[in-house]
Amino acid sequence: MLDVDRGGADPAPPVSNRTTRRTVLKAGGTLLLAVIAPALLPNLAHAAQILAVRVWPADDYTRVTLENDSDLKASHFVVRDPDRLVVDIEGLELNPTLKQLVAKIQSNDPYIKQVRVGQNKPNVVRLVFDLKEAVKPQVFTLAPVGTYAHRLVLDLYPVNAPDPIAALIEKGEWSNDPVNPPALLPEWQSALKSESVPPLADYPPELKTGPDETPGARWDPKADPKLEPKPEPKSDRVPQVTRMITIALDPGHGGEDPGAIGKSGSREKDVVLAIAKRLKAKIEQQPNMRVMLTRDADFFVPLNVRVQKARKVQADLFMSIHADAFVESTARGSSVFVLSEKGASSTAARWLANKENSADQIGGVNFKGQDRQLTSVLLDLSTTAQINDSMKLGKAVLGEIGGINKLHRGAVEQAGFAVLKAPDIPSILIETAFISNPEEEAKLTDDAYQDQMAEAVMKGIKRYFAKNPPLSKNRMT
């Protein structure tokens, strides 16, 4: 250091001291660089690693997911004539996993022809998607959740979004012309009268819940001496159906969200899609009925979009199909749930609703691109009338399901399921069985059981409409 009192510098130290000082300074500098370099130059210290690439093509949109070990920063732009999407990802070096994206693009993808992947410059990878038509891309990141690490998501939406009604018209499944009531209702009425067990809605309240509400309890109304079903009201007036009935089927989960996974590896999203397709085929065999699936393949649909799809086709019923899991593999039985405005009917129902409502986080929703206020308004418009109608539908379906599988509880349960919040459509959520129970997982993957479950739900739909014929659209509020 400088000696200000003597007005000059310290005399030169001996040679041995100078050598020691240089050695110490050199070592100290190396140590300091080692400490500050990662903070100042993160990309040089550790380039992000792509862990997995996935592509989910669908008519609605195509999703590309890059799962990685850190949060990535990406920019994108669209090029016309021909249509291309260019995505630049910073802090990334090209690796074999990312190169797999090229082979992941399917020839039948509605929106992507092919993709090119390359190292644009050091620490920047460029993806170029050659498109089949113009798209409106959404590029966003997702924080780690569940079994997933960080994800960079590219959603390619068509500029002209598909119209669900137009899709039904194209398939010959949509018409607003009046229908002939006798073609539909008498068959249902005769089927209803031929059944020996009265509908669940007619049982006294104390007999609807099963013994002590214990899981797995199964109540047999025919064996109960206290049962006194209400007589059918006599009336010469047969309710008339004056239009087509539209049913929205919602196979839960899909795409990035596998749902619950059984011990044998069965995925909920696959099981419920298979059951929904079987039910769809049965509904289409009924006179004057049509059906819309919120998803017909393996892709994810946000919860509020499922509701919006049902409303766009003016659905008369909304039925969400699931096969959930519980922390204990002994849990078993089928259940039916409807919306609740006053809280869940049980702790288990609340737990399940919270789990199902987290699907958006797992499936991956770009919340920045949504109008949260509009979504909130839609989900808060549910009415007491909707819940009452949903309860009637739920009881009709539960009564039929109880004939092929034990009921987890003997009554329709209620909780705040976001997917059931269509303000003007009776809506239920069906838990077909517990995929976490090895015995029930085997059932869920069995073709015969899937068909029996679809048939039971179909009978429940018939029972509901036989007692609650739909109003004509111009009389509905």
State how far the Cα of 298 lies from the Cα of 372, in Å rounded to an integer: 26
What are the residue ranges spanned by the domains of the chain?
Answer: 50-158, 165-475
Residue 233, sorted as left (phi over 0), alpha (psi -120 to 50) or beta, turns out to be beta
CA distances (Å), origin 103, targets 54, 113, 289, 448: 11, 11, 41, 36
Residues 244, 290 contacting (CB under 8 angstroms): yes
Please name the amino acid found at residue 472.
Answer: S
Q: From start to end of 33-165, where are the E strands?
A: 50-56, 62-68, 73-79, 84-90, 112-121, 124-131, 135-142, 150-158
Which two structure tokens, joined as six digits, stand for 364? Answer: 């991956």
Identify the residue whose tokens are 């802090």.
91
Residues 349, 357 contacting (CB under 8 angstroms): no
State how far the Cα of 295 lies from the Cα of 279, in Å rounded to an integer: 14
Q: pTM of whole model > 0.85?
A: no
State how far the Cα of 406 lies from the Cα of 333, in Å rounded to an integer: 5
State how far the Cα of 164 lies from the Cα of 403, in Å rounded to an integer: 34
State how far the Cα of 448 lies from the Cα of 450, in Å rounded to an integer: 5
What is the per-residue pLDDT for 2? Answer: 31
Q: Helix, strand or coil for residue 125?
A: strand
Alpha carbon 461 to its chain centroid, in Å, reads 23
Residues 402, 457 contacting (CB under 8 angstroms): no
Per-residue pLDDT of 32-43, as tens digits, reads 444 444 444 444
Same fold, 50-158 and 165-475: no
* pLDDT one digit per residue (tens) for the chain, 477 residues: 333 333 444 444 555 555 555 554 455 555 444 444 444 444 444 678 999 999 999 999 999 999 999 989 999 999 999 999 999 999 998 999 999 999 999 999 999 999 999 998 889 999 999 999 999 999 999 999 989 999 999 999 999 877 777 766 666 655 544 443 334 455 445 544 444 444 444 433 433 443 334 444 444 544 444 444 455 555 445 455 456 899 999 999 999 999 999 999 999 999 999 999 999 999 999 988 999 999 999 999 998 899 999 999 999 999 999 998 887 888 899 999 998 876 665 667 676 667 676 787 888 887 665 555 444 444 455 577 888 999 999 999 999 999 999 998 889 998 888 888 888 899 999 999 999 999 999 999 999 999 999 999 999 999 999 999 876 554 433
What is the per-residue pLDDT for 172? Answer: 62
What is the per-residue pLDDT for 44? Answer: 44
Residues 101, 127 contacting (CB under 8 angstroms): yes
State how far the Cα of 69 lies from the Cα of 60, in Å rounded to an integer: 29
CATH of 165-475, one of 3.40.50.2000, 3.40.50.1000, 3.40.630.40, 3.40.50.300: 3.40.630.40
What is the per-residue pLDDT for 292? Answer: 94
CATH 2.60.40.3500 fits 50-158, yes or no: yes
Residues 68, 151 contacting (CB under 8 angstroms): yes
State how far the Cα of 337 lies from the Cα of 303, in Å rounded to an integer: 16
State how far the Cα of 402 lies from the Cα of 3, in Å rounded to an integer: 96
Q: Which residues pair with residue 103 across a beta bridge?
A: none
What is the per-residue pLDDT for 369? Answer: 54
Residues in the chain: 477
CA distances (Å), origin 297, targets 5, 269, 428: 86, 10, 21
